[in-house]
Structure 1
Amino acid sequence: MAQKPSIPKGTRDFNAEEVAKRSYIMETIKEQFQVYGFQPIETPSFENSDTLMGKYGDEGDRLIFKILNSGDYFKDLKKHINFNNDLVYRFYFLIDKIIEANPNRLELNVLAEDYFDTMKSEHKEVISKYIEENSEFIISTLNSQVIIGDPKDAYKAQISQNFLDFILDKVVLNSYNSTSFISEKALRYDLTVPFARYVVQHQNEIEFPFKRYQIQPVWRADRPQKGRFREFFQCDADVVGSKSLFQEVEFIQLYDAVFSALKLEGLTIKINNRKILSGIAEVIGAQDKLIDFTVALDKLDKIGEEKVKEEMRSKGISEEGISKLQPLFTLKGDFTNQIESLKGILSASEIGLKGIEELEFINTAISNLKLKTATLQLDVTLARGLNYYTGAIFEVSAPKGVKMGSIGGGGRYDDLTGIFGLKDMSGVGISFGLDRIYLVLEELDLFPATIAESTKVIFINFGEKEAMACLQAVTKLRQAGVKAELYPDAAKMKKQMNYANRRNIPFVVLVGEEELKSGVFTLKNMASGEQHKVEFSALVELLGN
């Protein structure tokens, strides 16, 4: 029976039109990256597991796709199985010897030493370790079986599982450093950690500050849903090696430039600062509950003030602390007004005031430089990547009326490369959510009408002689940069026309006997149905526009 074709959940096939639209978004983003001076790099699809594991928290580690080792892994595993079989046999035979030496009262210090000395050192080591850790269990089990008078079968039933569990736990897993003997590599979870590894590994070849962009797929073992996939592209831009706040200013401009170029106008770029969140936690006496506090505060728009307070109480935040937060719940006005309110709330927090100072600098710069179509908005509930970011935090939401999560985000991190041994390398970066941007542009009908055009003109095939003349014309059109093709078979006219319609090819050229004799071409506009007879030079001019 033939296998039904399918693909893994959370992955997708893309047809020609979808590929064209995705390429349009990527090329638009790439063009702006380059205008802003970012250089392209690429990293492997998979990294060593220890490069990725432990960098994203427990939840992130759970979503990493691990790659099963091949080749020597199976050879080593088979060798280990053989070793264990031999070890179990040696162990049972040794216990037999012990029983024979002490049929009435068993003592483990009588180990049939002559036989024990003939064992391989690895066998001795494992069996000695097992006896040392399980002596009480072995003695009680064997003594009870000897009294019954049927030792040779009974002890095997009692001890076998215990000994095999010991081997699995102490020998197999430990000797292979947990599961590393099964998987030493993993598909990349994001582009940021591989970028940090790249910077440290190539630090002597890089000029700092280093501005890089990367557009590549990543993989996450997440639950698929709208706008969330297991395989998707990330479009990242980062600067490392500079603490200047002008980098944050440029990234806000870059967001504005990209979304304006995509005709996705009127978006709001939300900004906050990790130092402000830390300052608020300090003021309310909840420094040790920073995560709980910010997670609850982040839900203000969704569940309202009273529910947020309820959640904070459940996390152990005091009533006094919650009362100090009251001005945050009513924080309104433009960027400048909100900043003034925050200064009052954070007057006793040095780190909080530092965060305000950074935001004021960024806002002043953007006010002077102006944005094309986007708006910069302060949002003190914004708390993305709290364990990761150390300064400014960015997020771009989909336009109002479009049910979609964020379509971009990023922020400042002070020690990304420290996880690989390169300390004090500050950086800041942003990411564009390609797949979500695609869905938003589709919903708002913002893709250019001609974006999916693959072929501009197709020549109808009337037969071998006509087809050869058409192919000569097609070749010259291609040399002139026109996307042209010849229908390969001399099929019925209706079939060839339907083919052109289904592929949205805007023009068809007919070259029959009459056209061959006159040396002109009949050009048909498939949208209007109009036909004109044209010379080849006119054909090139018309189709080249």
Structure 2
Amino acid sequence: MIEPRIVKGFRDALPQEEHLRRQIMEKLADAFALQGYEAIDTPTLEYTETLLGKSGGETEKQIFRFKDAGERDVAMRFDLTVPLARYVTMHRDELALPFKRYHIAKVWRGEKPQRGRFREFYQCDFDIVGSDDAMADLDILMTAQTALVLLGVPAFVIEVNHRGILLGYLEQLGIAQHNTEILRSLDKVDKLGWQVVETELLPLISAEMIAKLKDFITPASDAWATIAKLRNLMGDHASLLVLENLFRQFKALDVAHFFTVNPKITRGLDYYTGMVFETFLLDDRALGSICSGGRYDNLMALYSKNPMSGVGGSIGLDRLLSAENILSQLNISERLRMMIYAPVDLAKVGALMRMLRDLGVVVEIYPGQKKVDQQTKYALRKGARLGIFVEGEGYTLRKFVERESLKDLSLEALIAHLKEHYLA
């Protein structure tokens, strides 16, 4: 007998969890579509060279890679952005540019599993490809904020930075030759702590430089104070002016309270080049970012001689679902679920079921003739709030939560009661 097991970092989804996930995905898809983004899909498997580009870097350590039956070197997608770059390159003549797309699908990363972080998980991506204008950056950030508000995510902050700011400061300090290693290390501060990052940096740069970096990436009291601090350290750098302009636009749009500046955000993936952001719950920062992204101006150059700029974001659905304290606050309307106890008159029951389903009620017949207690237990396990007995000319409505029953109801009285008390 084979022992049933699940590979580390992977999970089964029970019906209740999957139902909630599907509702959230539908809500996000509607939010993206209302802001002009179009749905696409790409294959789970890509050629490894497509995913890794010219050099694997940190990404190569995370992908699930193998040889297929034809001895081709393939890998499972680790995000939805790199496949998008390949997709746009192959279909650019068929797309309206700039191309705004959303894609909600599973991705796979071979990283260490922990709370809110799995090896198989959903990403909910939204991107604009074909525009290097700062308005595209603003569009992505506003889409992230709008989608999270529509979903009902409580008390969150979107922390924004520009990779060019830190790169400019590294050049000013004379340590730009270690750009890649330093940015990757700084991206781990929230996850691993400053002491671990400092240990990583010591073989590369001096303790004095590390101290200056620590001061540089430490935010001030608010966004504008942080921008002023950065200007004092590096002057009117072009990347800092881009960031400052974004915050002026947030103020004009009356959404500035959702955003702040965090100079240490760099994003771990190598393809980001400009504006970057991460989103945290105010009362559960340890959960990690629930929505992140940024600008990637050079990614398309891996696949085409005519590259295009891109900017995008991704909502971490599984991480959001792991935050149990906010699930009850999400703007998700649960459909009324009912069960009809094992009936005798199927024709009468069929008409009732059609009427209930037209009202948006999830209704099913108990499959088999069992004792009432067993049927009730089944209904409760399925999340039903109500049960119906079809008895003679009338109906009995059993309310599971209230532990009471309404007997001898006509069809008209039954439907009227449901509309008044459960479907209003």
For 1:323 and 1:233, locate their aligned partners in 2 and report how far apart those are by CA, in whole Å.
Answer: 38
Alignment correspondent of 2:228: 340
Alignment correspondent of 2:381: 502
RMSD: 2.8
Alignment correspondent of 1:112: none
Identity within the alignment, %: 33
Alignment correspondent of 2:321: 438
**Secondary structure of the corresponding residue to residue 25 of structure 2:** helix
CA contact 1:66–1:183 (8 Å) conserved in 2: no
Shift of the 450–293 alpha-carbon distance from structure 1 to 2, 3 Å rule, reads: closer
1:233 corresponds to 2:122: yes
Q: Which amino acid aligns with 1:195?
A: L
Shift of the 470–438 alpha-carbon distance from structure 1 to 2, 3 Å rule, reads: same
CA contact 1:459–1:485 (8 Å) conserved in 2: yes
Alignment correspondent of 2:403: 529
CA contact 2:151–2:330 (8 Å) conserved in 1: no
Shift of the 335–542 alpha-carbon distance from structure 1 to 2, 3 Å rule, reads: same
Shift of 1:331: 5.1
CA contact 1:222–1:230 (8 Å) conserved in 2: yes
Out of 304, 316, 323, the position equivalent to 1:421 is 304
Shift of the 499–318 alpha-carbon distance from structure 1 to 2, 3 Å rule, reads: closer
Shift of 1:419: 0.3
For 1:15 and 1:369, locate their aligned partners in 2 and report how far apart those are by CA, in whole Å.
Answer: 41
Q: Which amino acid aligns with 1:339?
A: I
Shift of 1:254: 1.7
Alignment correspondent of 1:328: 216
Out of 198, 201, 206, the position equivalent to 2:87 is 198
Alignment correspondent of 2:294: 411
Tell me the alpha carbon deviations over residues 394-432 of structure 1, each in whole angstroms, 9 at most, x when there is no partner. 111233345312111111111221100143411111111
Stretch deviating more after TM superposition (205-214 or 253-262): 253-262
Tell me the alpha carbon deviations over residues 161-200 of structure 1, each in whole angstroms, 9 at most, x when there is no partner. xxxxxxxxxxxxxxxxxxxxx3333222211111001100
**Secondary structure of the corresponding residue to residue 286 of structure 2:** coil
CA contact 1:234–1:434 (8 Å) conserved in 2: yes
Structure whose CA Rg is larger: 1
For 1:249 and 1:293, locate their aligned partners in 2 and report how far apart those are by CA, in whole Å.
Answer: 27
For 1:55 and 1:237, locate their aligned partners in 2 and report how far apart those are by CA, in whole Å.
Answer: 25
Alignment correspondent of 1:82: none
Alignment correspondent of 1:38: 37
Structure number with higher helix proportion: 1
Task: Return the TM-score normalized by structure 1.
Answer: 0.70
Alignment correspondent of 1:470: 349
**Secondary structure of the corresponding residue to residue 527 of structure 1:** coil
1:63 corresponds to 2:62: yes
CA contact 1:16–1:452 (8 Å) conserved in 2: no
1:486 corresponds to 2:365: yes
Shift of the 468–387 alpha-carbon distance from structure 1 to 2, 3 Å rule, reads: closer
Correspondences of 1:123-522 after superposition (within 5 Å): 182-295=71-184, 297=186, 303=193, 312-317=201-206, 319=208, 321=209, 328=216, 332-347=220-235, 353-371=237-255, 375-385=258-268, 387-401=270-284, 403-440=286-323, 442-446=324-328, 456-461=337-342, 464=344, 466-512=345-391, 516=392, 519-522=393-396
For these two proteins, the number of residue pairs brought into alignment is: 418
**Secondary structure of the corresponding residue to residue 511 of structure 1:** strand
Tell me the alpha carbon deviations over residues 51-100 of structure 1, each in whole angstroms, 9 at most, x when there is no partner. 22346733322332234432xx4xxxxxxxxxxxxxxxxxxxxxxxxxxx
Which stretches in structure 1 are left out of the alignment for 5+ residues? 74-181
Task: Return the TM-score normalized by structure 2.
Answer: 0.89
Q: Which amino acid aligns with 2:417?
A: L
Q: Which amino acid aligns with 2:68?
A: N
**Secondary structure of the corresponding residue to residue 202 of structure 1:** helix
Shift of the 69–298 alpha-carbon distance from structure 1 to 2, 3 Å rule, reads: closer
**Secondary structure of the corresponding residue to residue 508 of structure 1:** strand
1:48 corresponds to 2:47: yes
Q: Which amino acid aligns with 2:348?
A: A
Shift of the 488–277 alpha-carbon distance from structure 1 to 2, 3 Å rule, reads: same
CA contact 1:286–1:317 (8 Å) conserved in 2: no
For 2:109 and 2:296, locate their aligned partners in 1 and report how far apart those are by CA, in whole Å.
Answer: 23
For 1:475 and 1:324, locate their aligned partners in 2 and report how far apart those are by CA, in whole Å.
Answer: 69
Shift of 1:367: 0.7
Shift of 1:379: 1.0
Shift of the 535–50 alpha-carbon distance from structure 1 to 2, 3 Å rule, reads: same
Structure number with higher strand proportion: 2
For 1:397 and 1:232, locate their aligned partners in 2 and report how far apart those are by CA, in whole Å.
Answer: 18
